[in-house]
Chains A and B, each alone.
Chain A
Amino acid sequence: MGKRRVPDVDLLDLIDAVQSVADGMLFGTTYALLGIGFTLVFGVMHKINLSYAAASIGAAYASLLILAGVKAPAPVVFLMAAVAGGVIGAVVYLVAFKFIPLANPLATLMSTVGLLLLIDEIIVHATAGVPLNYPALFSDVLIRMGPFSLRGDLMFVFLLGCLCMAGLLYLLYRTRLGLATRAVSQQPVAAQLCGIGITNVNVQTFVITGVVGGIAGAMTGAAIGMLSPLLSLPLTVKGLIVTVIGGLGSIPGAIVAGLLVGGLENAFQFLRGVSERDLYIMLLLFAFLVFRPGGIFATAPGRE
């Protein structure tokens, strides 16, 4: 029951369509959260870190494994995921970026690919590839508005996303660390001349993006209800899509793009069924990149 022909549309179908898109947009908040981290990594720090989504899911797994015997409440698990994310972020920097000269972006691309494979395998070895249950907040809350209903847990994720966005924007534009980060990513030599310790700043920024990633991983696990190693590759692809549509480096763009991608996914699925859904997303993305490469909220073009 996937394809609809337009002449057959009636009120019920219309309501279903709107509900579908709304559901999709709400689920897109998880993409938005992941996109915020991605856009920070790619857009602000100008580093291609393909292991980011895997590290985020890895942080969520870590939170489960650390709290293995303990029956901890959901917020504690999420906090643990954030902490684990930060630690993993620092490790990612040390292992995949620190020792590779800046002039070799291809090498860091490949090193993060190696890290992605490694993290995936660690997860598979630790869990035998079996999906694990993930706790959620407000999972049984359903907000009803007339014939429509909205998932409470996803609204919480949306709020969390907005909080993260506000926090990160404050961090980037109102603190010394943010200033240092932007300086290091734009002009590393000049930044060093100004006395900014590159390694320190880089570690700190990776830790922060790692924390955001950990939260994103936890929220994704909570929204689905389970974690599985199946998630890392599709989330990497979705994260890249959201980053690019939202505009590299634009944090509000990442949120809007996340919601957009989520909503469009469901819209295409409603109209053409699941087999063709992703095909249209990919074609749309391709067209978007070609005609509007700057993204929705294109930031000022710098030197690529």
Chain B
Amino acid sequence: MDFYLGLIQIIGVHTLIGLSAYCVLLTGQVSLAQAGFFAIGAYVAGMLTVLWSWPLIPALAMAALAGGVVACAVGFPALRVKGLMLVVATLAFGEAVRLFFFNFTYQMARGEIRIGPHGGEGFKQIRYFPENGWTTFDVVIFIWVVVVLVMAALWWMDRSRTGAVLRAVGEDELAAQSIGINITAVKVSAMTIGGVIAGLGGGIFAHYTTHIEHVQFGVVLATFAIAYPILGGLSNVFGTLIAVIFIQGFLIEGLRFMGDWRNLLFGGLILLAMNVRPRGLLDAGTTLALKRLIDRARSGVARMKERTSA
């Protein structure tokens, strides 16, 4: 049971980083910097709870804020470029953040041991959860409350004018500009929201792994971050969730029985998935079909109720 709970925790946090990339992808930009904002969130939240004994929720709020502020600051210069240039610019920024933490040491004495981030060795003993009596189940509930809130916020945003504006910029910048949308403001806002979500996810990540180091926040994590929304489909937030479940649940844990073959299948299945469903696992077509199914089911239930009540 503990294993499934742990897996659900991982899926939750990875959904957060996936959603942070999703926001930016909606505006048509590929950002490899989400791992950097994730890292900032992780270190900020970790330092607050370990060094200054802050309670968890304010620490996470600060982590999200830090992620958002840095994302906004990076967004202005970075979003002046497009396409591959933006990919490389965000990659460079993400790597710069990782390298910053590689060099970052801030330790305090706590009794005879020193605690805090220690450069290349990382930041260990972030034990807020076990020390405060949180069981695995408690952590799962906490993570998923956050994830559901974020997903609900993004879903609502998608249904509103903001979502339409974001997608308009994503579809055709020239057209969007000609109807008076301020593209830079839109792209930077998307980047900032992405930074907030990534910072939040990073803060939680630091607490459930208890030890963070620069290596974890590199190109691989940045690639996973964009893989989730692209693999899942950009039509709605559930695509990202499904992709995270597919990768973390199926490819990583589910295929374990295949032993050595698992790793080969990992790349191979992603390749296959993109060939077979280039618009993502949950693309617009599938979403529409699902909606029709749900509507038909609903009307079927309504008709049945009529007949039985009549």
Contacts and interface: CB of A to CB of B under 8 A. Distances in A.
B279 interface: yes
Given A109-B30, A248-B84, A240 B274 contact: no
A125 interface: yes
B174 to A, nearest CB: 10
B85 A282 contact: no
Interface in A99-122: 99-101, 104, 106-111, 113-122
Contacts of B84: 42, 48, 240, 243-244, 248
Interface in B91-140: 91-93, 95-96, 99-100, 102-103, 119-120
Contact of B275 (A48, A99, A248): A99
Contacts of B303: none
B263 interface: yes
Given A110-B227, A121-B266, A275-B103, A289 B25 contact: no
Interface string B261-280: 00110111111111100110
B81 interface: yes
Interface size class of B (residues with CB under 8 A): 35 or more
Contact of B267 (A100, A108, A121, A289): A121
B92 A106 contact: no
State the majority secondary structure of interface residues on B.
Answer: helix
B176 interface: no
Contacts of B234: 106
B171 to A, nearest CB: 11
Q: What is the size category of the interface that chain A forms with chain B?
A: 35 or more
B89 A110 contact: no
B260 interface: yes
Contacts of B274: 96, 100, 107-108, 110-111, 114
Contact of A113 (B96, B100, B223, B268): B223
A122 B267 CA distance: 10
Nearest to A286: B92
B278 A118 contact: no
B83 interface: yes
Interface in A217-260: 233, 236-237, 240-241, 243-244, 248
Interface in B242-270: 260, 263-264, 266-270
Contact of B96 (A95, A124, A283): A283
A279 B92 CA distance: 9
A107 B95 contact: no
A282 B83 contact: no
Nearest to B231: A110
Nearest to A100: B278
Contact of B80 (A108, A113, A125, A290): A290
A141 B201 CA distance: 53
Nearest to B119: A275
Instruction: Sort A-B residue pairs by CB-CB distance and give the 4 closest, nearest first.
Output: A118-B267, A117-B267, A114-B270, A107-B278
Interface of B: 25, 30, 77-78, 80-85, 87-89, 91-93, 95-96, 99-100, 102-103, 119-120, 219-220, 223, 226-227, 230-231, 234, 260, 263-264, 266-275, 278-279
25 contacts: A48-B87, A95-B271, A101-B278, A106-B234, A107-B230, A109-B30, A114-B274, A116-B267, A117-B266, A118-B264, A118-B268, A118-B271, A121-B266, A237-B95, A237-B219, A240-B87, A243-B88, A248-B84, A275-B99, A275-B103, A279-B99, A286-B92, A286-B93, A289-B85, A289-B92
